[in-house]
Chains A and B, each alone.
Chain A
Amino acid sequence: MNPSDKHVLVVGGGIGGITAALELASCGIHVTMLEEGPSIGGRMIQLDKTFPTLDCSSCTLTPKMVEVILNPRIHLITLAKPIKVQKDGVGFEVTILKKPRYVDEKKCTACGSCADACVMKGRLRDEFNLGLGKRAAIYIPFAQAAPQKYLIDKEGCLFLSRGKCKKACMEACETEAINFDAVEETITSVYDAIIVASGFDLYDPSEKREYGYGTLEGVITGIEFERLCSVTGPTGGDIILNGKIPHRFYFIQCVGSRDRQTGARFCSRVCCMYTAKHASIVKDRIKDAEIYISYIDVRAYGKGYEEFYKSTQENGVFYIRGIPGEITETDNGLRVRVEDMLSSEMREIEVDIVVLATGVRLRAGTPELCRVMSLERDEYGFIKCDALHPSMTNVEGIFVCGMASGPKDVPDTVASAGEAAARCMEYIHQ
């Protein structure tokens, strides 16, 4: 096999896609990586710390992101996704839709003057921060984005959506990088194999009325809490909600997982650990914090996880076996009603903030992606694969890794991406 003849398409720029791409490239294979959003980094870059070592998530991931950008064999296309996939011999002909950035990547220096000048500054929902912060119509998702380039949000931009704006951004830009005439592009290419690493979304708990998410102030999700803890987040890493520092925390595990009611019977595998992580972060930053965690079973199964869980308990975090039935508002906070199964009593605990440890779901664009690639999904929507051939899908030549094939944590995602790279290489080595 002459590796440099081969070309693989990796769909998804999170830690799974990044790992698979780097492994393939190190074996001499050319990789095109597609990322639907404006930057690679996936979910992991939204995290403050990772369990169980409380390592800084950005610090472990950004060097890998840079490796991808600098690797001569990896071609990254952002704001792109496959819209048509057809078999072409043993490979695939893929039509890629690339959305316009409206900013010339070759000219943009990421100076930020455009965002400062934008009339929509501070008015649009910042998706990266899950709506906890605001941004302008021309923006960069986060400071360490890769590629380091700004983009314009078509719907939010006055000029692009309504045709009327003084375009202060263009005036501010010293390199004339802004181009409102940019259009969608379709690119058609042939690849020898495809690896899908499209990642995940978090469950939206709005339908669980008993928790009051979306109606009660002070009820947020785990990923939102993660953004509050992050130095790159809307509060610079200070845990502040509605202008105040909360002191009494209630974390509820298994929201949207192991849940017959919403049909998600599976375990999301990461929430027990990320909740313990959140509790540790709080204990570290808010010295007199009172912390409760509701659980059914604590799944601390990985390396170092049990020890981390134990030390969280020993640090004074109260684990309550039993999931709350109701959260109500009080004069100065929230009240959580829960049956404590170990003490067999009904308890009412007053807190300042409730964090729902929401479970994982397939990422929003993936069902469409599966349709395009004719990939079979399981009853929960994750891409189907089996335990003895972990990255194999029903389509020969298309492989899957990471959360797209079911919940898993970072080390398992990295290993599954390596396995997918191996299986992919065997396939193209025919």
Chain B
Amino acid sequence: MAEYKKNKNLEIVGFACSYCSFKASEMAGSLRMKYPEGVKIVEVPCSSRVDPAFIIKAIVEGADGVFVSGCHPGDCHFIKGNYYTRRKIAALKEMFNAFSMQGRLRLFWVSASEARRFVEKVSSMYNHIKEKNNEREKA
């Protein structure tokens, strides 16, 4: 199983809000910016729609990492949704850390025109996890 994962792409599941981060991911596409193929995005109206249960499900079913992205604080289309997201993810991160899974859950804010930022965040997360996986194989 471990060998198999090294050869194929990592699986990253992302949640992006319709108004900001999903739009940024669309723009990244329009601008033909490239990021790893293993990244797959679930569109949600607001990042606050993301139930921690989804994130855990993704990990349990085999995702190497999960990210949640939403509007910058203060810019949420639903006014305060992203504040709730921030709190939930912070709590979930504590749990991830306890299981030595730092870095496998990321939260970042991207506005609709920040395609480059979206690609950078996603790519750096992917590469970081890939490195950690490689290190673990070696160990």
Contact = CB atoms under 8 A, between A and B. Distances in A.
A and B touching (C-beta < 8 Å)? yes
Interface of A: 53-55
Nearest to B30: A53
B37 to A, nearest CB: 19
A54 B30 CA distance: 8
A55 B29 CA distance: 10
A53 B31 CA distance: 7
4 contacts: A53-B30, A53-B31, A54-B32, A55-B30
Contacts of A53: 30-31
Interface in B1-37: 30-32
A28 to B, nearest CB: 31
Interface of B: 30-32
Nearest to B27: A53
A55 B32 CA distance: 10
B114 to A, nearest CB: 15
Contacts of B30: 53, 55
A55 B31 CA distance: 9
Contacts of B32: 54
A55 B30 CA distance: 7
Contacts of A55: 30
Nearest to B32: A54
Nearest to A304: B31
Nearest to A54: B32
A129 to B, nearest CB: 27
Nearest to A55: B30
B29 to A, nearest CB: 11
B26 to A, nearest CB: 11
A55 B26 CA distance: 12
A189 B31 CA distance: 48
A147 B139 CA distance: 65
A133 B30 CA distance: 31
B99 to A, nearest CB: 43
B112 to A, nearest CB: 15
A375 to B, nearest CB: 39
A102 B32 CA distance: 45
A34 to B, nearest CB: 34
A53 B29 CA distance: 10
A364 B133 CA distance: 66
A272 B31 CA distance: 20
A79 B31 CA distance: 38
A156 to B, nearest CB: 41
Contacts of B31: 53
Nearest to A53: B30
A187 B26 CA distance: 47
A350 B86 CA distance: 60
B32 to A, nearest CB: 7
Which 4 A-B residue pairs are closest in the complex by CB-CB distance?
A53-B30, A55-B30, A54-B32, A53-B31
Nearest to A284: B32
A53 B32 CA distance: 9
B100 to A, nearest CB: 43
A53 B30 CA distance: 7
A303 to B, nearest CB: 12
A171 B30 CA distance: 47
Contacts of A54: 32
A98 to B, nearest CB: 40
A59 to B, nearest CB: 11
A54 B31 CA distance: 8
B25 to A, nearest CB: 15
A54 B33 CA distance: 13
A53 B27 CA distance: 10
B54 to A, nearest CB: 32
A376 B8 CA distance: 67
A64 to B, nearest CB: 18
A220 B30 CA distance: 29
A365 B28 CA distance: 42
A263 B30 CA distance: 40
A7 B24 CA distance: 42
A54 B29 CA distance: 11
